[in-house]
Structure 1
Protein backbone atom coordinates (compact mmCIF):
# COMPACT_ATOMS: atom_id res chain seq x y z
CA UNK A 1 0.00 0.00 0.00
CA UNK A 2 2.80 2.46 0.80
CA UNK A 3 4.15 2.15 -2.76
CA UNK A 4 0.75 2.95 -4.22
CA UNK A 5 0.48 5.99 -1.96
CA UNK A 6 3.97 7.09 -2.97
CA UNK A 7 3.15 6.64 -6.65
CA UNK A 8 0.06 8.78 -6.14
CA UNK A 9 2.37 11.51 -4.82
CA UNK A 10 4.43 11.42 -8.02
CA UNK A 11 1.36 11.63 -10.20
CA UNK A 12 -0.14 14.44 -8.12
CA UNK A 13 3.01 16.48 -8.68
CA UNK A 14 3.06 15.71 -12.38
CA UNK A 15 6.13 13.54 -12.05
CA UNK A 16 8.04 16.06 -9.92
CA UNK A 17 9.24 13.17 -7.77
CA UNK A 18 10.68 11.11 -10.59
CA UNK A 19 10.51 12.59 -14.04
CA UNK A 20 10.95 15.45 -16.46
CA UNK A 21 13.88 17.61 -15.40
CA UNK A 22 16.14 14.61 -14.97
CA UNK A 23 16.98 14.35 -11.29
CA UNK A 24 15.31 17.31 -9.58
CA UNK A 25 14.32 16.15 -6.09
CA UNK A 26 11.04 18.03 -5.98
CA UNK A 27 11.67 21.26 -7.88
CA UNK A 28 12.95 22.54 -11.21
CA UNK A 29 16.74 22.65 -10.82
CA UNK A 30 18.64 19.52 -11.87
CA UNK A 31 21.49 18.65 -9.48
CA UNK A 32 24.71 17.63 -11.16
CA UNK A 33 24.63 19.97 -14.15
CA UNK A 34 27.39 22.32 -12.92
CA UNK A 35 30.08 20.27 -11.15
CA UNK A 36 33.64 21.64 -11.03
CA UNK A 37 33.97 25.44 -10.78
CA UNK A 38 30.19 25.89 -10.81
CA UNK A 39 30.33 29.04 -8.64
CA UNK A 40 32.96 30.78 -10.85
CA UNK A 41 31.24 33.51 -12.87
CA UNK A 42 33.11 34.23 -16.16
CA UNK A 43 34.44 37.70 -17.10
CA UNK A 44 32.23 40.20 -18.96
CA UNK A 45 30.85 38.80 -22.20
CA UNK A 46 28.04 36.73 -23.70
CA UNK A 47 28.11 32.98 -23.16
CA UNK A 48 26.13 29.97 -24.30
CA UNK A 49 26.15 26.79 -22.23
CA UNK A 50 24.50 23.65 -23.48
CA UNK A 51 24.00 20.80 -21.01
CA UNK A 52 23.20 17.38 -22.45
CA UNK A 53 22.04 15.21 -19.54
CA UNK A 54 20.95 11.58 -19.62
CA UNK A 55 19.39 10.21 -16.43
CA UNK A 56 18.85 6.46 -16.27
CA UNK A 57 16.36 5.37 -13.62
CA UNK A 58 17.11 1.98 -12.07
CA UNK A 59 14.56 1.95 -9.24
CA UNK A 60 11.90 3.94 -7.40
CA UNK A 61 12.50 4.69 -3.72
CA UNK A 62 9.89 5.39 -1.05
CA UNK A 63 10.21 7.81 1.86
CA UNK A 64 12.33 5.30 3.80
CA UNK A 65 14.71 4.69 0.91
CA UNK A 66 13.35 1.22 0.12
CA UNK A 67 12.91 0.18 -3.52
CA UNK A 68 9.43 -0.28 -4.92
CA UNK A 69 8.78 -3.90 -5.98
CA UNK A 70 9.07 -5.09 -9.56
CA UNK A 71 10.96 -3.69 -12.52
CA UNK A 72 10.84 0.10 -12.59
CA UNK A 73 13.01 1.66 -15.29
CA UNK A 74 13.13 4.93 -17.18
CA UNK A 75 15.26 7.41 -19.10
CA UNK A 76 15.24 11.18 -19.18
CA UNK A 77 17.34 12.99 -21.80
CA UNK A 78 17.52 16.78 -21.59
CA UNK A 79 19.24 19.47 -23.63
CA UNK A 80 19.35 22.48 -21.34
CA UNK A 81 20.08 25.72 -23.20
CA UNK A 82 21.50 28.53 -21.07
CA UNK A 83 22.37 32.06 -22.25
CA UNK A 84 24.41 34.29 -19.91
CA UNK A 85 25.34 37.94 -20.34
CA UNK A 86 27.90 39.31 -17.89
CA UNK A 87 27.99 43.06 -18.34
CA UNK A 88 30.89 45.45 -17.76
CA UNK A 89 28.96 47.02 -14.88
CA UNK A 90 29.44 46.27 -11.21
CA UNK A 91 27.08 46.10 -8.24
CA UNK A 92 28.25 45.68 -4.64
CA UNK A 93 31.75 45.10 -5.96
CA UNK A 94 30.62 42.20 -8.17
CA UNK A 95 30.34 41.77 -11.92
CA UNK A 96 26.63 42.06 -12.83
CA UNK A 97 24.84 39.81 -15.31
CA UNK A 98 21.56 38.25 -16.42
CA UNK A 99 20.66 34.79 -17.74
CA UNK A 100 17.94 32.63 -19.29
CA UNK A 101 17.49 28.84 -19.32
CA UNK A 102 15.21 26.74 -21.53
CA UNK A 103 15.32 22.91 -21.38
CA UNK A 104 14.19 20.48 -24.08
CA UNK A 105 13.40 17.06 -22.61
CA UNK A 106 12.53 13.55 -23.74
CA UNK A 107 11.08 11.19 -21.12
CA UNK A 108 10.36 7.46 -21.20
CA UNK A 109 8.99 5.77 -18.06
CA UNK A 110 8.45 2.02 -17.77
CA UNK A 111 7.45 1.45 -14.17
CA UNK A 112 5.99 -2.03 -14.47
CA UNK A 113 6.25 -2.73 -10.75
CA UNK A 114 3.87 0.12 -9.89
CA UNK A 115 1.76 -0.03 -13.06
CA UNK A 116 2.85 3.13 -14.90
CA UNK A 117 4.05 3.58 -18.48
CA UNK A 118 4.37 6.99 -20.14
CA UNK A 119 6.58 8.88 -22.59
CA UNK A 120 6.69 12.35 -24.12
CA UNK A 121 9.01 15.15 -25.18
CA UNK A 122 8.97 18.93 -25.56
CA UNK A 123 10.01 22.25 -24.08
CA UNK A 124 10.28 22.44 -20.30
CA UNK A 125 9.65 25.40 -18.01
CA UNK A 126 11.49 28.67 -18.72
CA UNK A 127 13.91 30.27 -16.23
CA UNK A 128 14.81 33.98 -16.22
CA UNK A 129 17.23 35.72 -13.87
CA UNK A 130 17.67 39.51 -13.76
CA UNK A 131 20.39 39.24 -11.12
CA UNK A 132 23.69 37.37 -11.38
CA UNK A 133 26.57 38.67 -9.24
CA UNK A 134 30.13 37.34 -9.42
CA UNK A 135 32.98 38.29 -7.08
CA UNK A 136 36.62 37.42 -7.71
CA UNK A 137 39.70 37.34 -5.48
CA UNK A 138 43.24 36.08 -5.91
CA UNK A 139 42.34 32.66 -4.54
CA UNK A 140 38.57 32.71 -4.37
CA UNK A 141 35.38 33.31 -6.35
CA UNK A 142 31.78 33.73 -5.19
CA UNK A 143 28.34 34.00 -6.79
CA UNK A 144 24.85 35.11 -5.81
CA UNK A 145 21.86 35.01 -8.15
CA UNK A 146 18.07 35.20 -8.07
CA UNK A 147 15.54 34.22 -10.71
CA UNK A 148 12.19 32.64 -11.52
CA UNK A 149 11.08 29.38 -13.11
CA UNK A 150 7.87 29.98 -15.05
CA UNK A 151 5.09 27.43 -15.66
CA UNK A 152 5.46 27.37 -19.46
CA UNK A 153 5.87 23.66 -20.26
CA UNK A 154 3.02 21.25 -20.99
CA UNK A 155 1.59 19.66 -17.84
CA UNK A 156 -1.17 17.26 -16.83
CA UNK A 157 -1.60 15.63 -13.44
CA UNK A 158 -2.04 12.15 -14.94
CA UNK A 159 0.92 12.45 -17.39
CA UNK A 160 4.21 12.38 -15.43
CA UNK A 161 6.30 12.32 -18.63
CA UNK A 162 5.12 15.73 -19.81
CA UNK A 163 7.95 18.34 -19.72
CA UNK A 164 6.28 20.95 -17.47
CA UNK A 165 6.05 20.96 -13.67
CA UNK A 166 2.74 22.79 -13.40
CA UNK A 167 4.01 25.41 -10.94
CA UNK A 168 6.35 28.42 -10.69
CA UNK A 169 9.47 28.48 -8.51
CA UNK A 170 11.70 31.27 -7.21
CA UNK A 171 15.35 30.17 -7.12
CA UNK A 172 18.19 31.71 -5.10
CA UNK A 173 21.82 30.77 -5.80
CA UNK A 174 24.81 31.09 -3.47
CA UNK A 175 28.22 29.52 -3.91
CA UNK A 176 31.95 29.88 -3.71
CA UNK A 177 35.25 28.39 -4.88
CA UNK A 178 38.58 28.27 -3.03
CA UNK A 179 41.82 27.87 -4.99
CA UNK A 180 44.58 26.26 -2.96
CA UNK A 181 47.47 27.73 -4.99
CA UNK A 182 48.22 30.96 -6.86
CA UNK A 183 48.06 29.17 -10.22
CA UNK A 184 44.54 27.91 -9.35
CA UNK A 185 45.43 24.33 -10.18
CA UNK A 186 43.65 22.87 -7.13
CA UNK A 187 40.12 24.08 -6.45
CA UNK A 188 37.28 23.15 -4.11
CA UNK A 189 33.85 24.57 -4.90
CA UNK A 190 30.30 24.37 -3.55
CA UNK A 191 27.17 25.74 -5.22
CA UNK A 192 23.73 25.84 -3.57
CA UNK A 193 20.28 26.40 -5.10
CA UNK A 194 17.28 27.15 -2.88
CA UNK A 195 13.82 26.94 -4.46
CA UNK A 196 10.50 28.27 -3.13
CA UNK A 197 7.59 26.75 -5.08
CA UNK A 198 4.16 28.01 -5.98
CA UNK A 199 0.93 26.04 -6.04
CA UNK A 200 0.44 23.50 -8.79
CA UNK A 201 -2.41 24.77 -10.95
CA UNK A 202 -4.20 21.48 -11.58
CA UNK A 203 -3.87 19.75 -8.20
CA UNK A 204 -3.67 22.61 -5.68
CA UNK A 205 -0.58 21.00 -4.13
CA UNK A 206 2.29 23.32 -3.15
CA UNK A 207 5.64 21.46 -3.09
CA UNK A 208 7.84 22.12 -0.07
CA UNK A 209 10.95 24.27 -0.38
CA UNK A 210 13.99 22.46 -1.77
CA UNK A 211 17.77 22.80 -1.47
CA UNK A 212 20.45 21.46 -3.79
CA UNK A 213 24.19 21.54 -3.03
CA UNK A 214 26.71 20.63 -5.74
CA UNK A 215 30.38 20.26 -4.84
CA UNK A 216 33.63 19.49 -6.60
CA UNK A 217 37.34 19.03 -5.94
CA UNK A 218 39.36 19.49 -9.11
CA UNK A 219 42.96 19.62 -10.34
CA UNK A 220 44.14 21.21 -13.60
CA UNK A 221 47.07 19.38 -15.20
CA UNK A 222 49.92 21.01 -17.13
CA UNK A 223 48.18 20.00 -20.35
CA UNK A 224 45.13 22.08 -19.39
CA UNK A 225 42.95 19.06 -18.70
CA UNK A 226 40.97 19.35 -15.46
CA UNK A 227 40.03 16.22 -13.51
CA UNK A 228 38.04 15.97 -10.33
CA UNK A 229 35.67 14.39 -7.89
CA UNK A 230 32.11 15.76 -7.87
CA UNK A 231 28.83 15.13 -6.10
CA UNK A 232 25.42 16.49 -5.25
CA UNK A 233 22.93 16.38 -2.40
CA UNK A 234 19.30 17.47 -2.72
CA UNK A 235 16.69 17.77 0.01
CA UNK A 236 13.03 18.67 0.15
CA UNK A 237 13.07 20.80 3.29
CA UNK A 238 9.32 21.00 3.92
CA UNK A 239 6.43 18.65 3.31
CA UNK A 240 4.04 19.45 0.49
CA UNK A 241 0.87 21.30 1.42
CA UNK A 242 -2.65 20.91 0.04
CA UNK A 243 -5.55 18.48 0.23
CA UNK A 244 -3.81 15.83 -1.91
CA UNK A 245 -0.34 16.37 -0.43
CA UNK A 246 1.47 13.27 0.90
CA UNK A 247 3.89 13.23 3.82
CA UNK A 248 7.21 12.00 2.41
CA UNK A 249 10.04 14.42 1.64
CA UNK A 250 12.34 13.74 -1.31
CA UNK A 251 16.13 13.36 -1.07
CA UNK A 252 18.87 12.56 -3.57
CA UNK A 253 22.59 11.94 -3.02
CA UNK A 254 25.24 11.19 -5.63
CA UNK A 255 28.99 11.05 -6.19
CA UNK A 256 30.92 11.03 -9.45
CA UNK A 257 33.88 12.11 -11.56
CA UNK A 258 34.37 14.91 -14.08
CA UNK A 259 36.87 15.89 -16.78
CA UNK A 260 37.06 19.13 -18.74
CA UNK A 261 39.17 21.18 -21.12
CA UNK A 262 39.03 24.83 -22.21
CA UNK A 263 40.53 26.30 -25.40
CA UNK A 264 41.12 30.04 -24.70
CA UNK A 265 41.78 30.92 -28.35
CA UNK A 266 38.41 29.49 -29.38
CA UNK A 267 36.55 30.55 -26.25
CA UNK A 268 35.30 26.96 -26.12
CA UNK A 269 35.04 24.58 -23.20
CA UNK A 270 33.94 20.93 -22.97
CA UNK A 271 33.15 19.01 -19.78
CA UNK A 272 31.85 15.54 -19.07
CA UNK A 273 30.70 14.02 -15.78
CA UNK A 274 29.17 10.79 -14.50
CA UNK A 275 27.22 10.58 -11.23
CA UNK A 276 25.99 7.52 -9.33
CA UNK A 277 23.11 8.02 -6.90
CA UNK A 278 23.44 5.97 -3.72
CA UNK A 279 20.80 7.07 -1.19
CA UNK A 280 17.52 8.52 -2.52
CA UNK A 281 14.15 8.87 -0.81
CA UNK A 282 10.69 9.51 -2.27
CA UNK A 283 12.42 9.82 -5.64
CA UNK A 284 13.86 7.71 -8.43
CA UNK A 285 17.41 6.41 -8.11
CA UNK A 286 19.86 5.93 -10.94
CA UNK A 287 22.87 7.35 -12.79
CA UNK A 288 23.39 10.72 -14.46
CA UNK A 289 25.66 11.31 -17.46
CA UNK A 290 26.21 14.98 -18.32
CA UNK A 291 28.10 16.70 -21.15
CA UNK A 292 28.58 20.48 -21.16
CA UNK A 293 29.60 22.78 -23.99
CA UNK A 294 30.53 26.39 -23.21
CA UNK A 295 31.01 28.97 -25.98
CA UNK A 296 32.11 32.54 -25.31
CA UNK A 297 31.10 35.22 -27.83
Structure 2
Protein backbone atom coordinates (compact mmCIF):
# COMPACT_ATOMS: atom_id res chain seq x y z
CA UNK A 1 0.00 0.00 0.00
CA UNK A 2 1.06 3.61 -0.48
CA UNK A 3 1.20 5.75 2.63
CA UNK A 4 -0.98 8.90 2.67
CA UNK A 5 0.56 11.81 0.83
CA UNK A 6 -0.02 14.19 3.73
CA UNK A 7 2.49 12.17 5.78
CA UNK A 8 5.11 13.32 3.29
CA UNK A 9 4.50 17.03 3.77
CA UNK A 10 7.12 19.53 4.72
CA UNK A 11 5.20 22.96 6.82
CA UNK A 12 5.03 24.72 5.22
CA UNK A 13 5.04 27.51 5.69
CA UNK A 14 4.72 30.01 3.95
CA UNK A 15 4.07 31.44 2.70
CA UNK A 16 4.04 29.00 3.60
CA UNK A 17 4.86 27.12 4.95
CA UNK A 18 4.97 26.29 5.83
CA UNK A 19 3.15 23.30 8.30
CA UNK A 20 -0.38 21.48 7.82
CA UNK A 21 -0.79 18.44 8.02
CA UNK A 22 -3.77 16.26 7.77
CA UNK A 23 -5.57 14.72 4.83
CA UNK A 24 -3.88 16.96 2.37
CA UNK A 25 -4.11 16.64 -1.36
CA UNK A 26 -0.93 15.77 -3.22
CA UNK A 27 1.64 18.55 -2.93
CA UNK A 28 3.95 20.28 -0.48
CA UNK A 29 2.04 23.36 0.59
CA UNK A 30 0.25 23.21 3.91
CA UNK A 31 -2.94 25.35 4.03
CA UNK A 32 -3.79 27.05 7.30
CA UNK A 33 -0.46 28.81 7.84
CA UNK A 34 -1.77 32.09 6.42
CA UNK A 35 -4.96 33.87 7.47
CA UNK A 36 -6.03 37.51 7.79
CA UNK A 37 -4.21 39.74 5.24
CA UNK A 38 -2.55 36.62 3.79
CA UNK A 39 -2.00 38.34 0.43
CA UNK A 40 -0.32 41.51 1.80
CA UNK A 41 3.44 41.71 1.20
CA UNK A 42 5.35 43.81 3.79
CA UNK A 43 7.36 46.90 2.80
CA UNK A 44 11.05 46.57 1.78
CA UNK A 45 13.13 44.89 4.48
CA UNK A 46 14.21 41.50 5.83
CA UNK A 47 11.71 39.37 7.74
CA UNK A 48 11.72 36.09 9.65
CA UNK A 49 8.46 34.16 9.96
CA UNK A 50 8.25 31.11 12.18
CA UNK A 51 5.14 28.95 11.75
CA UNK A 52 4.51 26.40 14.50
CA UNK A 53 1.66 24.09 13.51
CA UNK A 54 0.14 21.11 15.30
CA UNK A 55 -2.29 18.82 13.47
CA UNK A 56 -4.09 15.90 15.09
CA UNK A 57 -6.66 13.40 13.85
CA UNK A 58 -7.92 10.68 16.20
CA UNK A 59 -10.16 8.99 13.65
CA UNK A 60 -9.64 7.91 10.06
CA UNK A 61 -11.95 6.49 7.43
CA UNK A 62 -11.55 4.43 4.30
CA UNK A 63 -11.87 6.60 1.16
CA UNK A 64 -15.47 7.06 0.03
CA UNK A 65 -17.04 5.82 3.27
CA UNK A 66 -18.62 7.51 6.30
CA UNK A 67 -17.51 4.90 8.83
CA UNK A 68 -14.41 5.13 11.01
CA UNK A 69 -11.86 2.38 10.57
CA UNK A 70 -11.77 -0.14 13.44
CA UNK A 71 -9.23 -0.03 16.22
CA UNK A 72 -7.21 2.83 17.65
CA UNK A 73 -6.00 5.15 14.88
CA UNK A 74 -4.35 8.53 15.30
CA UNK A 75 -2.12 10.86 13.31
CA UNK A 76 -0.20 13.64 15.03
CA UNK A 77 2.08 16.06 13.16
CA UNK A 78 3.99 18.98 14.68
CA UNK A 79 6.02 21.23 12.40
CA UNK A 80 8.09 24.40 12.56
CA UNK A 81 8.50 26.15 9.22
CA UNK A 82 11.30 28.72 9.22
CA UNK A 83 10.70 31.30 6.50
CA UNK A 84 13.09 34.11 5.54
CA UNK A 85 11.81 36.89 3.24
CA UNK A 86 13.79 39.76 1.71
CA UNK A 87 11.73 42.49 0.05
CA UNK A 88 14.12 44.71 -1.91
CA UNK A 89 13.89 48.34 -3.06
CA UNK A 90 13.68 47.20 -6.70
CA UNK A 91 10.46 47.46 -8.69
CA UNK A 92 9.13 45.02 -11.30
CA UNK A 93 5.86 45.85 -13.09
CA UNK A 94 5.22 48.43 -10.37
CA UNK A 95 5.56 45.86 -7.60
CA UNK A 96 8.13 45.52 -4.82
CA UNK A 97 10.44 42.62 -5.73
CA UNK A 98 11.60 40.07 -3.18
CA UNK A 99 12.93 36.55 -2.61
CA UNK A 100 12.21 33.95 0.06
CA UNK A 101 13.06 30.50 1.39
CA UNK A 102 11.34 28.05 3.76
CA UNK A 103 13.16 25.41 5.82
CA UNK A 104 10.70 23.14 7.69
CA UNK A 105 11.33 20.76 10.58
CA UNK A 106 8.62 18.19 11.23
CA UNK A 107 7.73 15.49 13.74
CA UNK A 108 5.17 12.87 12.71
CA UNK A 109 3.62 10.19 14.94
CA UNK A 110 1.57 7.45 13.26
CA UNK A 111 -0.51 4.97 15.23
CA UNK A 112 -2.77 3.15 12.80
CA UNK A 113 -4.01 -0.02 14.45
CA UNK A 114 -6.00 -1.04 11.40
CA UNK A 115 -2.84 -1.54 9.28
CA UNK A 116 -1.09 -1.99 11.76
CA UNK A 117 1.47 0.81 11.55
CA UNK A 118 3.30 2.53 14.41
CA UNK A 119 6.05 4.94 13.43
CA UNK A 120 7.47 8.33 14.38
CA UNK A 121 10.20 10.53 12.98
CA UNK A 122 11.63 14.03 13.41
CA UNK A 123 13.70 15.52 10.60
CA UNK A 124 14.14 18.34 8.09
CA UNK A 125 11.48 18.47 5.42
CA UNK A 126 11.70 19.54 1.79
CA UNK A 127 13.12 23.07 1.37
CA UNK A 128 11.38 25.79 -0.64
CA UNK A 129 13.26 28.35 -2.74
CA UNK A 130 11.28 31.36 -4.00
CA UNK A 131 13.25 33.59 -6.40
CA UNK A 132 10.19 35.69 -7.31
CA UNK A 133 7.92 37.56 -4.88
CA UNK A 134 5.98 40.57 -6.19
CA UNK A 135 3.92 42.83 -3.92
CA UNK A 136 1.62 45.64 -5.09
CA UNK A 137 0.01 48.24 -2.81
CA UNK A 138 -2.95 50.48 -3.63
CA UNK A 139 -4.89 52.95 -1.52
CA UNK A 140 -7.33 50.27 -0.31
CA UNK A 141 -5.85 47.01 -1.62
CA UNK A 142 -2.76 44.81 -1.75
CA UNK A 143 -1.86 42.08 -4.24
CA UNK A 144 0.83 39.41 -4.51
CA UNK A 145 2.27 37.08 -7.14
CA UNK A 146 5.10 34.62 -6.55
CA UNK A 147 6.86 31.60 -8.01
CA UNK A 148 9.22 29.05 -6.52
CA UNK A 149 10.27 25.41 -6.24
CA UNK A 150 10.03 22.78 -3.51
CA UNK A 151 13.23 20.72 -3.50
CA UNK A 152 13.21 16.96 -3.05
CA UNK A 153 15.56 17.31 -0.08
CA UNK A 154 13.76 15.76 2.92
CA UNK A 155 14.16 12.26 4.29
CA UNK A 156 11.89 9.48 2.96
CA UNK A 157 13.35 6.59 4.95
CA UNK A 158 10.12 5.68 6.78
CA UNK A 159 6.35 6.28 6.55
CA UNK A 160 6.68 9.09 9.14
CA UNK A 161 9.59 10.81 7.37
CA UNK A 162 8.81 14.42 6.33
CA UNK A 163 10.17 14.27 2.77
CA UNK A 164 7.65 13.94 -0.06
CA UNK A 165 9.98 12.12 -2.45
CA UNK A 166 9.48 14.55 -5.34
CA UNK A 167 9.91 18.22 -6.25
CA UNK A 168 7.15 20.72 -7.05
CA UNK A 169 6.84 24.06 -8.84
CA UNK A 170 4.49 26.41 -6.95
CA UNK A 171 2.77 29.54 -8.28
CA UNK A 172 1.05 32.03 -5.94
CA UNK A 173 -1.49 34.84 -6.46
CA UNK A 174 -3.81 36.71 -4.14
CA UNK A 175 -5.26 39.98 -2.95
CA UNK A 176 -6.33 41.88 0.18
CA UNK A 177 -9.09 44.49 0.20
CA UNK A 178 -9.67 47.15 2.88
CA UNK A 179 -13.37 47.92 3.27
CA UNK A 180 -13.06 51.25 5.12
CA UNK A 181 -10.79 54.30 5.09
CA UNK A 182 -9.28 53.38 8.45
CA UNK A 183 -8.41 49.90 7.11
CA UNK A 184 -10.01 48.27 10.16
CA UNK A 185 -11.99 45.77 8.04
CA UNK A 186 -10.06 43.51 5.67
CA UNK A 187 -10.76 40.57 3.42
CA UNK A 188 -8.12 38.44 1.72
CA UNK A 189 -7.80 35.43 -0.59
CA UNK A 190 -4.51 33.64 -1.35
CA UNK A 191 -4.19 30.83 -3.92
CA UNK A 192 -1.26 28.50 -4.53
CA UNK A 193 -1.01 26.01 -7.40
CA UNK A 194 1.50 23.13 -7.39
CA UNK A 195 2.83 21.19 -10.37
CA UNK A 196 4.26 17.99 -8.86
CA UNK A 197 7.05 15.94 -10.41
CA UNK A 198 7.41 12.16 -10.63
CA UNK A 199 8.99 10.13 -7.82
CA UNK A 200 11.88 7.73 -8.36
CA UNK A 201 9.38 4.84 -8.38
CA UNK A 202 7.41 6.37 -11.26
CA UNK A 203 4.47 7.65 -9.20
CA UNK A 204 3.28 11.17 -10.09
CA UNK A 205 1.00 13.07 -7.68
CA UNK A 206 -1.74 15.17 -9.23
CA UNK A 207 -1.63 18.97 -9.43
CA UNK A 208 -2.94 20.76 -6.34
CA UNK A 209 -4.79 24.03 -5.71
CA UNK A 210 -4.76 25.52 -2.19
CA UNK A 211 -6.94 28.53 -1.35
CA UNK A 212 -6.77 30.36 2.00
CA UNK A 213 -9.11 33.18 3.04
CA UNK A 214 -9.47 35.58 5.95
CA UNK A 215 -11.88 38.27 7.12
CA UNK A 216 -10.41 40.52 9.83
CA UNK A 217 -11.41 43.39 12.12
CA UNK A 218 -8.94 45.65 13.96
CA UNK A 219 -9.91 46.36 17.57
CA UNK A 220 -7.29 48.91 18.50
CA UNK A 221 -3.88 47.28 17.92
CA UNK A 222 -5.34 43.75 18.05
CA UNK A 223 -6.85 42.07 14.98
CA UNK A 224 -9.43 39.28 15.20
CA UNK A 225 -10.80 37.36 12.28
CA UNK A 226 -12.44 34.37 10.65
CA UNK A 227 -10.14 32.20 8.54
CA UNK A 228 -10.36 29.07 6.44
CA UNK A 229 -8.89 27.01 3.65
CA UNK A 230 -9.75 24.59 0.86
CA UNK A 231 -7.25 22.31 -0.81
CA UNK A 232 -8.26 20.42 -3.95
CA UNK A 233 -6.35 17.94 -6.07
CA UNK A 234 -6.94 19.16 -9.63
CA UNK A 235 -5.66 16.13 -11.55
CA UNK A 236 -5.50 12.46 -10.64
CA UNK A 237 -2.38 10.65 -9.47
CA UNK A 238 -0.67 8.42 -12.02
CA UNK A 239 1.81 5.57 -11.95
CA UNK A 240 2.25 2.63 -9.57
CA UNK A 241 -0.27 2.63 -6.71
CA UNK A 242 -2.42 5.48 -8.08
CA UNK A 243 -6.14 5.40 -7.32
CA UNK A 244 -8.96 6.72 -9.50
CA UNK A 245 -9.97 9.61 -7.21
CA UNK A 246 -8.85 13.08 -6.12
CA UNK A 247 -8.10 14.33 -2.61
CA UNK A 248 -9.63 17.44 -1.05
CA UNK A 249 -10.16 19.02 2.35
CA UNK A 250 -11.67 22.16 3.83
CA UNK A 251 -11.53 23.85 7.22
CA UNK A 252 -12.66 27.02 8.99
CA UNK A 253 -11.59 28.71 12.20
CA UNK A 254 -10.53 31.91 13.95
CA UNK A 255 -7.31 33.96 14.24
CA UNK A 256 -5.93 36.53 16.68
CA UNK A 257 -3.07 38.92 15.81
CA UNK A 258 -1.18 40.87 18.48
CA UNK A 259 1.45 43.39 17.30
CA UNK A 260 4.49 44.43 19.35
CA UNK A 261 5.60 47.28 17.11
CA UNK A 262 8.29 48.64 19.44
CA UNK A 263 10.13 45.33 19.03
CA UNK A 264 9.27 44.76 15.38
CA UNK A 265 7.19 41.68 16.25
CA UNK A 266 3.80 40.28 15.31
CA UNK A 267 2.31 37.31 17.18
CA UNK A 268 -0.48 35.31 15.59
CA UNK A 269 -2.54 32.35 16.73
CA UNK A 270 -5.23 30.41 14.85
CA UNK A 271 -7.37 27.30 15.21
CA UNK A 272 -8.89 25.39 12.28
CA UNK A 273 -11.42 22.55 12.33
CA UNK A 274 -11.69 20.41 9.22
CA UNK A 275 -15.31 19.91 8.15
CA UNK A 276 -14.70 18.11 4.87
CA UNK A 277 -12.03 15.61 3.88
CA UNK A 278 -11.55 13.24 0.96
CA UNK A 279 -8.37 11.25 0.40
CA UNK A 280 -6.82 9.86 -2.76
CA UNK A 281 -4.82 7.30 -0.76
CA UNK A 282 -5.37 4.51 1.71
CA UNK A 283 -6.84 6.33 4.74
CA UNK A 284 -8.92 9.47 5.13
CA UNK A 285 -8.43 11.48 8.36
CA UNK A 286 -10.34 14.53 9.52
CA UNK A 287 -8.76 16.59 12.30
CA UNK A 288 -7.93 20.03 13.63
CA UNK A 289 -4.98 22.39 13.24
CA UNK A 290 -3.53 24.74 15.86
CA UNK A 291 -1.07 27.29 14.47
CA UNK A 292 1.16 29.95 16.04
CA UNK A 293 3.16 32.45 13.98
CA UNK A 294 5.97 34.82 14.94
CA UNK A 295 6.90 37.59 12.51
CA UNK A 296 10.11 39.54 13.14
CA UNK A 297 11.15 42.55 11.05
CA UNK A 298 14.87 43.36 10.88
* Corresponding residue number in structure 2 for 1:194: 193
Structure 1 residue 245: deviation in Å?
Answer: 1.4
Q: Which runs of 5+ in 1 are unaligned?
A: 1-7
Paired with 1:192 and 1:163, the residues of 2 have a C-alpha distance of 23
Match of 2:214 in 1: 216
2:16 is matched with: none
TM-aligned CA deviation for residue 267 of structure 1 = 1.1
Shift of 1:262: 1.4
Q: 1:243 to 1:25 in 2, by over 3 A?
A: closer
Is 1:160 equivalent to 2:159 in the alignment?
A: yes
Find the aligned partners of 2:67 and 2:246 in 1 and give their Cα distance.
15
Contact 1:141 1:178 in 2 (8 A): yes
Residue in 2 aligned with 1:75? 76
Task: Tell me how far 1:80 sits from its aligned partner.
Answer: 0.3
Deviation digits for residues 147-198 of structure 1 (CA, Å, limit 9, x no counterpart)? 0000000114xx2200100000000001101110111100010101100000
Are the equivalent residues in 2 in contact too, given 1:254–1:277 (CA < 8 A)?
A: yes
> Is 1:46–1:84's contact at 8 Å kept on the other side of the alignment?
yes
CA root-mean-square deviation: 1.3
Structure 1 runs, 4 residues or longer, greater than 6 Å off:
none
- For residue 17 of structure 2, what is the aligned residue in structure 1? none
Deviation readout 1:72-94 (Å, 9 max, x if unpaired): 10210000000000000100000
Counterpart position of 1:207: 205
Supply the distance in 2 between the matched residues of 1:260 and 1:65 (Cα, whole angstroms).
38
Query: Which residue of the partner structure matches residue 286 of structure 1?
Result: 287
Q: Is the 8 A contact 1:173 1:193 kept in 2?
A: yes
Q: CA deviation at 1:264?
A: 2.1
Judging changes above 3 Å, is the alpha-carbon distance between structure 1 residues 45 and 65 closer, same or farther for their aligned structure 2 residues? farther
Cross-structure match for 1:130: 131
Output the CA distance in 1 between the equivalents of 2:168 and 2:82: 18
CA–CA distance in structure 1, aligned partners of residues 39 and 187 of structure 2: 10
- TM-score norm. by structure 1 comes to 0.92
Q: Contact 1:68/1:113 (CA < 8 Å) preserved in 2?
A: no
Cα distance in structure 2, aligned partners of 1:34 and 1:154 = 26
Secondary structure in structure 1 of the residue aligned to 2:114: helix
Sort the Cα spacing of 1:215 and 1:42 in 2 relative to 1 into closer, same or farther, 3 A.
same
Contact kept in structure 1, 2:61 and 2:69, CA below 8 Å: no
Per-residue deviation at 1:200?
Answer: 1.1
The Cα of 1:68 is off from its aligned counterpart by 4.2
Q: Do the aligned partners of 1:139 and 1:180 also contact (CA within 8 Å) in 2?
A: yes
Which of 265, 271, 276 is the equivalent residue of 2:273?
Answer: 276
The answer to whether the 8 Å contact 2:168/2:194 transfers is yes
Alpha-carbon separation, structure 2, partners of 1:182 and 1:240: 47
Count of matched residue pairs? 282
Does the Cα contact within 8 Å between 1:122 and 1:163 map onto a contact in 2? yes
Structure 2 unmatched ranges of 5 or more: 11-20
Paired residues of 2:274 and 2:287 also in contact (CA < 8 A) = yes
Map 1:169-184 → 2, pairs under 5 A: 169-184=168-183
Q: Note the C-alpha offset of 1:18.
A: 4.3
Match of 1:38? 38
